[in-house]
Chains A and B, each alone.
Chain A
Amino acid sequence: MSRLFYPRLAATSIRKNAKTYLPYMLTCIITVAMFYMITSLSMNKGISELRGSASIYSVLSLGSWVTGLFALIFLYYTNSFLIKRRKKEFGLYNILGMEKRHLSVMLFFECLFIALVSLVIGLTAGVAFDKLAFLLLLSLFDTKIPLGFEFHWGALLSTLLLFGVIFALLYLKSLFHIHLTKPIELLKGSAMGEREPKTKWLLAILGLLCLGGGYYIAVTTENPAAALAYFFLAVILVIVGTYCLFAASSIALLKFLKKRKRFYYQPRHFISVSGMIYRMKQNAVGLANICILSTMVLVMVSSTLSLYCGLNDIMKTRYPRDILMHTEDCDNASVEALNQAVDSVLGQKNIQEKNRVAYTGLSFGAMQQGSYFNTNPDSTDIVDMNAVVDLVFLPLESFHQLSGTDQVLNNGEILIYSDDRSYPYDTLEVFDLKFTVREKLEQFEQYDLVTANATGTMVYLIVVPDNAAIEQLDQLQQEVYGENASAVEYTLGFDVDAGQGPVVYRELKQTLDTDGRSVRLYCREDQLENAGALYGGLFFIGIFLGMLFLIATILIIYYKQISEGYDDRERFEIMQKVGLDRTEVKRSIRSQVLTVFFLPLITAGVHVIFAFPAITRILLLFGMTNKLLFALCTLGTFLVFALFYALVYGVTAKIYYKIVSSSPTRADE
């Protein structure tokens, strides 16, 4: 026997199974290329010249971890399709006299070929497109950095290592499969598992409960900080729920339909209901995977896209003025000195300032219990994250300056304002102080300015009569919060003409530093670049992983269609023999395939709709308040995704029909 026998046999069998192997190799190539790209990007030195490079690096390396993990899971999954399809072939070899160890050698060469081809092509493509990805990243930051061709040995090594391990694992798995099964079972391999599934009521109910719970949490959690924490719980619940839903609830529903005789025994329902039961059983996990992947793509791309698009808005909200400074030195002399320093810098540089605001204020968090604001979280058993609010206290004097009004407050009286929820009570208690609400303000134009630093959506702006009241509150909150206490701050901010922000910022910074003042100074333009780096990086990762997941979705769909095509061919033939029209069969199968195909997309859409409120609140943490923008981004992402999805459907449906109608009976017509 020639030494080349096994390699040749392996090569032939890959070629003969091109229909299933080609997409698999394509998957391997794409995952290799993408992993190399993201890993090499995370090592790219050019990025260090960007502003906020640290956050970009960390986002990119996170992306490379996710890609690696995903590659492992996904290749494992697609490989199992292949093994299932080829069981019969292995069985035949086995019966023709190839022992299992010979099969192992052949499989080894197959695996080796695939690994070599995918690594060589994948890495070549990765190196080639690496630059492209980097340019895309740069274009997201509106930056131009001349950059040569970069090649990273580190990225190459980690790619080789990761995929070496993955391919070895896949080979071991195939061996395991072959060694465990008897030749006869191998021969029947792909025909196994045709039993009608039992209704798993427990699982079905669990699925509905999980899904309902996840949705409930996503919709009802109102506090952004809480939303982030609960969101992960909701995500897990929804994932579990989706799997249960596809695996059990769908079958339970179909079986219920089957029991309804008048409905079931109609030509259209008869074939599709019984067929669907089997399809759901075989495809439940695959469909749930598609659904979850689709949801991830949608959520990721839409949220990062809206962050990226809303960057300017976000920065406007977070930094209401071009130049902002905060200081804890609130005594009159310090404030006066600060204002003078600012004036002199502006005068020196001959720069016009606009929209100058200044105020003193104190803000801290508390847990709302009716009209009582609890500042001691340990005092209650249940910490209700939804009840956590921000309290912003302003002395009347600052309020007058900001609003241009001239209300009067007596001792122990307050004015209160909140953005969306009216405060229903007539009193307000915090610590052991009790205030009477003199007026609930209808309108306060500088609200956004005052609450720019607040993290929650629920912010109460409370105006107290004088600085003494502020100081009293400050002392009390320092006692309670200790190290975590905030402080009374004087805030000064103003706008300048476009492009002058950084100039003023640097000059002011120098002046204040030499004066030895502890002032936190922000320049919106500088912050914009920093945040742009982070959000641009996130958006890049969103697109990158979105593409990866999209490819995965396409591949899963493709394999599903192929393996179902082979299964359906037989049924298709029998039904025709018994007297079903060819067109009727085609219609019935089409409707089943359509349902199975678009079920995950629709479910993903529903997931996204329910996730929408929660994500909106999480985006608030990033300062993203523009709900309309996010809604538009989500809608746009969904439409683009659906378009791709439909495109894939069109292509794979064609292949599917080709397989199904390749039956010998009346094939000539």
Chain B
Amino acid sequence: MAILEVSNLKKVYTTRFGGSHVQALSDVSFSVEQGEYVAIMGESGSGKTTLLNILAALDRPTSGEVRLNGKNIVTIREKEISAFRRENLGFVFQDFNLLDTFSIKDNIFLPLVLSNKSYQEMNRRLMPISARLGISDILEKYPYEVSGGQKQRAAVARALITEPQLILADEPTGALDSRASDNLLELFNQINADGQTILMVTHSVKAASSAKRVLFIKDGEVFHQLYRSGTAEEMYQKISDTLTMIATGGARYE
């Protein structure tokens, strides 16, 4: 069953004084199945951040549809969109986006508090997640007191705690060293193995090679896709080849 269906997505930015138009997405269509782990790759300016913002309901497309569990998120009213985002989507960002004013624990609780969950309920949910992510002993610390990898795991915990339909990750390894990156990607694989659907935007081949499927975006369109077969190393090789081909302007094949 497809959990996310994106069809004919188009986004045109108009500069402030209405002069020129920039087409960020021209025609994007793809779908994500329940329990999938999909990476979207593309160079800077390929439109992948725009795509992610639209999927996250942070931005609206010029035309096209995004259906999450059959519901078109493009038409959700502004008033309900925050609650919708909170209840159905989990976010992991490149720069963690943890608030310095909250302890790690409170950062993780933030979406639940906003949904008016009781403290007991929040704690009940937090325990297994924090144990799993290995952050149980830093819960009382503050973001500026822990390492980047720990911060990112806290952000993952914050994304997971709402039990979202879909986790959206934007360059999650972008600010991490290679060791922390490996840990995080391993973590994503584990979560995915438990049935969590993940959609990750990245331009790191390494990160993308941990996904089950990789979509390539170029000039605002889905240019190509790869399914995982074999080991991560093989996947890495395939992705590299594809990127080389895209960069050198090779013919499109499906």
A→B interface (CB under 8 Å): 194-196, 261-262, 265-267, 270, 274-275, 277-278, 571, 574-582, 584, 665-666, 669
Contact = CB atoms under 8 A, between A and B. Distances in A.
B245 interface: no
Contact of B119 (A261, A278, A580): A261
Nearest to B88: A579
B122 interface: yes
B216 interface: no
Contact of A571 (B101, B142, B144): B101
A665 B57 CA distance: 11
B106 A270 contact: yes
Contact of B82 (A274, A275, A581): A581
Contacts of A270: 106, 109-110, 113
Given A267-B116, A270-B106, A274-B101, A578 B91 contact: yes
Contact of B158 (A575, A576, A578): A578
Interface in B61-80: 78-79
13 contacts: A195-B142, A196-B142, A261-B119, A262-B119, A266-B113, A270-B113, A275-B101, A577-B93, A578-B111, A579-B83, A579-B86, A581-B82, A665-B58
Given A196-B142, A574-B98, A579-B85, 8 more contacts: A266-B116, A270-B106, A274-B101, A277-B101, A579-B83, A579-B86, A579-B89, A580-B114
Nearest to B103: A196
Contact of A578 (B78, B110, B119, B142): B110
B233 interface: no
Interface string B91-129: 101000111111000100111011010110010000000
Given A577-B93, A577-B97, A665-B58, A265 B122 contact: yes
Give the top 9 A-B pairs by smallest Cβ distance, nearest first. Answer: A579-B86, A581-B82, A574-B97, A261-B119, A274-B101, A270-B113, A579-B85, A194-B100, A265-B119
Nearest to A269: B113
A267 B97 contact: no
A584 B79 CA distance: 10
B108 to A, nearest CB: 10
B213 to A, nearest CB: 25
B5 to A, nearest CB: 22
B234 interface: no
Nearest to A195: B144
A76 B114 CA distance: 42
Contacts of A584: 82, 114
Contacts of B86: 578-579
A261 B114 CA distance: 15
Nearest to A196: B142
Contacts of A194: 100, 144
A266 B117 CA distance: 8
A274 B142 CA distance: 12
Contacts of A574: 97-99
Contacts of B56: 577
A266 B116 CA distance: 6
B59 interface: yes
Contacts of B114: 267, 578-580, 584
